[in-house]
Chain A
Amino acid sequence: MVQANDPFVSFKGVQKSYDGETLVVKNLNLDIASGEFLTMLGPSGSGKTTCLMMLAGFETATHGDIELGGRPINNIPPHKRGIGMVFQNYALFPHMTVGENLAFPLKVRNMPTAEVEDKVRAVLDMVQMLAFIDRKPAQLSGGQQQRIALARALVFNPELVLMDEPLGALDKQLREHMQYEIKHIHENLGVTVVYVTHDQSEALTMSNRIAVFDDGIIQQLADPVTLYEKPENAFVAQFIGENNQMLGTVQSVSKNIATVKLEAGDVVKALAVNVGAVGSRTTLSVRPERCIVTAKKSAGTSSLDARIEELIYLGDHIRCRMSVAGDDQFIVKVPNTSGQLGLEIGALSQIGWKNDDCRALDFNEPV
């Protein structure tokens, strides 16, 4: 489905400033293939929603070009772009019934009434909401409104659908359910979806690729697995999933393995991903589930002295907060396998990890 050679949506050197003093989006270059599900993920104020609004046509780019199907769309007004959009608060028209809401995009396109009726019923059937055709939006629950908003964005067969944190207002269970539903609709219809969210699990569940935004820049653009397994900088490592960070100085680099002296004095080895020359500072990043407690030192691993500070029993695993190298917020997830429950608060032990699981990234002052 994904045709990487032929971008459907293309941002070319796009910049955006609201006040003429600061750039909200700094030199954005992004190609989205036809049929792709691309998520823009980032904290609030990172510029992701601004990018979406520029694509929809509600904001104009201060500099650069946005292309849709090979055509620059900078000067095309929103209603001529033919892009479906699902809004954060659904934006269902409160004075129209569900049916009228769905008929709206078809009627403004002067579609014959009979055809409108058919299409509305078909799309309502798709989201399993046909029984609600005569209700007003206010009479629907949040999840139902969400489905209607989705149906309305799809009913006129747009090739591109934008979604601006559409699941933000739903409770956790419903949100997860809708994630799968949106994913399946995307797979069935083959439309291109650009999805904005600040929820990383949402992004990981649905996307083909994720663009992690921070400070107006795409920090990393990759598929979910790569993003989680191989974060390229300290921000992405810390933003996607849980992560222990240690600061240190590079002592030497050989065969992609960096030897790093931590601020507490310990020396560990880590995979050199994004480090400067010898003597430069670096952030080491290791996932809690990749750490092993009471490990014996062996080849290709690093290990450090640790003290157990807190234990939280979570059923499938035990969350263990430890003091490691002067940091008492070091988290280790210990799988709940038989014979593992010998942990005690205050006990001294060793923790270790494979050198490849600890990634030496750019220096990032902890907040």
Chain B
Amino acid sequence: MADSQTASLEPITAADGTPLKKKLAQALFRSRVRAVSLVVPLFAFVMASFVIPILALMWQGVYNDRFSSHMPNLTERLTMWDGLTEPNEKMYEALVADLKTARADRTIGRAATRVNQEFPGTRSLFTSTARKAKKLKPPFKESVIKANKKWNNIEVWQAMKITSQDLTPGFYATALDGRYTVDQGFVRQDENRQIYVKLFWRTMLISATVMGLCLLLGYPVAYLLATLPLRASNLLMIMVLLPFWTSLLVRTTAWIAILQSQGVINDLMVFVGITADDARFSLIYNMTGTIIAMTHILLPFMILPLYSVMKTIPPSYMRAARSLGATPTMAFIKVYMPQTIPGIGAGGLLVFILAIGYYITPALVGGQDGQLISNMIAYHMQKSLNWSLAAALGGILLAGVLVLYWAYDKVIGIDNMKLG
């Protein structure tokens, strides 16, 4: 008794008198160093190839210095300008000076492109005025407007003021079908120019549909896999995994061959007489095609987590339920299904998150209305070269996934998830 009392008052020491905590830390130091050194290469690789590029790209979504770096004088003037009054002579002077240097440095195109992203149709305004800039004489306001009267439009200047700010919410505004303006802040685009929000919703809808279909098709297969005798279930498992191991492109193009209007399914339906030869179903190059192909490709991601959960449910639960008087259906719904929720959650989340960022398959079989937001991101990365907008769209997508993940954790609990 006396021993335990003194121990609780003083820090416990090791045999040589050093505090036990310190001694323990020393003893664990070597193993800790070893553990860390084993992880370092992978950590460095992931940082360099994944985390840093992503962060850099995310940064581009809110930071763009194309304008300010190429038109420094004008940027300075625009910062002082309130954005509502007539642009003054000093601003015109700065504009001409910057246009001259930018033309000489051949950087005018970059600055012009940046403003064009904010206010479409202004690219030629910059390039044409820059060509004349050398000959322009003071007072610059008059001569510039004489060179091109579009400079008299205050909206051009407002657009320039916005693009002159390096740190800008403008790309996120665009990604949400709006515009960031000097005077009113966020303004929604006209109805007919809204594309991204609709696309986000369509992406969600298609992802949810694919997830639902995967669950519907995958659940019975996973159940069979978990309950069939070993020989049969091994064969079935190979059939599940075989497409998994096949190239994504091969599988997608196979669906083109099957679904196209002269394809296997349509030929069969015409042959059987379900449809007329001149009224074949359009099963591909639209949303239907995207859903069918993506469901097929993502099915294993649903089946495998479900299977791994079902495998751990002993058959005695169902037997117990039936011996207690439940019909097979009731036993399945009340006893078996609730125990597969971790698998449903894991498979559903996995399929949904994979689907929401899917790119190749919708690009190949999606046609017009089967495109997902990732296709638009790819377009801005590769075609329009508006990386900042692509980053903003990607950022919103990432935020959406994180919100879903959080909601899943709240409702079902991430600890409940079983990926295999």
Which of B317, B325, B341 has its CB near the most chain A CB atoms (within 10 A)?
A: B325
B192 within 8 A of A: no
B188 within 8 A of A: no
Contacts of B311-352 to chain A: CB distance below 8 A: 314, 316-317, 319-328, 330-331, 334-335, 338-339, 341
A180 surroundings in chain B (CB, below 8 A): none
Contacts of A73-113 to chain B: CB distance below 8 A: 77-85, 87-89, 91-95, 104-105, 108-109
A156 within 8 A of B: yes
A156 surroundings in chain B (CB, below 8 A): 324-325
CA A214 – CA B319 in complex, angstroms? 26
Which of A82, A88, A91 has its CB near the most chain B CB atoms (within 10 A)?
A: A91
Q: Is the Cβ of B324 less than 8 Å from the Cβ of A105?
A: yes
A82 surroundings in chain B (CB, below 8 A): 325
Q: Is the Cβ of B327 less than 8 Å from the Cβ of A79?
A: yes
CA A87 – CA B324 in complex, angstroms? 12
Closest beta carbon of chain A to B182's beta carbon, Å: 58
Closest to B323 in A: A85
Q: Which listed residue (B322, B334, B335, B339) contacts A77, Cβ 8 A? A: B322
CA A88 – CA B314 in complex, angstroms? 11
Q: Is the Cβ of B316 less than 8 Å from the Cβ of A104?
A: no
Q: Is the Cβ of A95 less than 8 Å from the Cβ of B339?
A: yes
Q: Is the Cβ of A78 less than 8 Å from the Cβ of B319?
A: yes
Q: Is the Cβ of B319 less than 8 Å from the Cβ of A79?
A: no
A152 within 8 A of B: yes
CA A104 – CA B327 in complex, angstroms? 12
Interface string of B370-407 (1 = CB under 8 A from A): 00000000000000000000000000000000000000
Closest beta carbon of chain A to B335's beta carbon, Å: 6
Closest beta carbon of chain A to B356's beta carbon, Å: 29
Given A95-B339, A108-B330, A78-B317 contact (CB < 8 Å): no
- Main SS of the interface on chain B? helix
Q: Which listed residue (A79, A88, A95) contacts B322, Cβ 8 A? A: A79
CA A81 – CA B319 in complex, angstroms? 13
Given A93-B335, A95-B338, A95-B339, A79-B320 contact (CB < 8 Å): no
CA A188 – CA B324 in complex, angstroms? 22
Q: Is the Cβ of A91 less than 8 Å from the Cβ of B316?
A: yes
Q: Which listed residue (B319, B324, B328, B341) contacts A152, Cβ 8 A? A: B324
Closest to A100 in B: B334
Given A95-B338, A108-B330, A89-B316 contact (CB < 8 Å): yes
Closest beta carbon of chain B to A74's beta carbon, Å: 16
Q: Is the Cβ of A104 less than 8 Å from the Cβ of B324?
A: yes
CA A357 – CA B327 in complex, angstroms? 54
CA A105 – CA B327 in complex, angstroms? 11
B341 surroundings in chain A (CB, below 8 A): 95
Closest to B317 in A: A91
A88 surroundings in chain B (CB, below 8 A): 316
A56 within 8 A of B: yes
Count residues of B near A (Cβ-Cβ below 8 Å).
Answer: 20
Which of B322, B324, B334 has its CB near the most chain A CB atoms (within 10 A)?
A: B324
Q: Is the Cβ of B325 less than 8 Å from the Cβ of A108?
A: yes
Q: Which listed residue (B320, B328, B335) contacts A87, Cβ 8 A? A: B320
Closest beta carbon of chain A to B110's beta carbon, Å: 61
Given A89-B316, A91-B317, A108-B323 contact (CB < 8 Å): no
Closest to B338 in A: A95
Given A94-B339, A104-B334, A108-B330, A84-B323 contact (CB < 8 Å): yes
Q: Is the Cβ of B321 less than 8 Å from the Cβ of A87?
A: no
Closest beta carbon of chain B to A211's beta carbon, Å: 21
CA A91 – CA B330 in complex, angstroms? 17
Q: Is the Cβ of A105 less than 8 Å from the Cβ of B325?
A: yes
CA A80 – CA B323 in complex, angstroms? 8
Q: Is the Cβ of A108 less than 8 Å from the Cβ of B316?
A: no
Closest beta carbon of chain A to B312's beta carbon, Å: 11
A78 surroundings in chain B (CB, below 8 A): 319, 322-323
Q: Is the Cβ of A79 less than 8 Å from the Cβ of B325?
A: yes
B321 surroundings in chain A (CB, below 8 A): 93, 104
A93 surroundings in chain B (CB, below 8 A): 317, 320-321, 335, 339
CA A152 – CA B338 in complex, angstroms? 19
A162 surroundings in chain B (CB, below 8 A): 323
Interface string of A228-261 (1 = CB under 8 A from B): 0000000000000000000000000000000000
Contacts of B121-142 to chain A: CB distance below 8 A: none
Closest beta carbon of chain A to B361's beta carbon, Å: 36
A92 surroundings in chain B (CB, below 8 A): 320
Q: Is the Cβ of B319 less than 8 Å from the Cβ of A108?
A: no
A79 surroundings in chain B (CB, below 8 A): 322-328, 331
Contacts of B157-209 to chain A: CB distance below 8 A: none
CA A79 – CA B318 in complex, angstroms? 11
Given A89-B316, A93-B321, A104-B339 contact (CB < 8 Å): no
B324 surroundings in chain A (CB, below 8 A): 79, 84, 104-105, 108, 152-153, 156
CA A147 – CA B117 in complex, angstroms? 73
CA A88 – CA B320 in complex, angstroms? 11
Closest to B330 in A: A108
CA A108 – CA B326 in complex, angstroms? 6
CA A104 – CA B321 in complex, angstroms? 8
Q: Is the Cβ of A109 less than 8 Å from the Cβ of B335?
A: no
Interface string of B260-285 (1 = CB under 8 A from A): 00000000000000000000000000
Closest beta carbon of chain A to B237's beta carbon, Å: 23
Closest beta carbon of chain A to B319's beta carbon, Å: 6
B331 surroundings in chain A (CB, below 8 A): 79
Closest beta carbon of chain A to B416's beta carbon, Å: 11
A152 surroundings in chain B (CB, below 8 A): 324
CA A84 – CA B334 in complex, angstroms? 18
9 pairs from A and B in contact (CB 8 Å cutoff): A58-B322, A77-B322, A79-B326, A79-B327, A80-B325, A82-B325, A85-B320, A91-B316, A105-B326
User: Which B residues contact A (CB, under 8 angstroms)?
Assistant: 314, 316-317, 319-328, 330-331, 334-335, 338-339, 341
Q: A85-B320, A87-B316, A105-B325 are in contact. List 17 more A-B contacts (CB 8 A).
A: A57-B323, A58-B319, A78-B319, A78-B322, A81-B323, A85-B319, A85-B323, A91-B320, A92-B320, A95-B339, A104-B324, A108-B324, A108-B330, A109-B325, A152-B324, A153-B324, A156-B325
Q: Which 5 A-B pairs have the closest CB atoms?
A: A105-B324, A91-B320, A85-B323, A91-B316, A78-B322
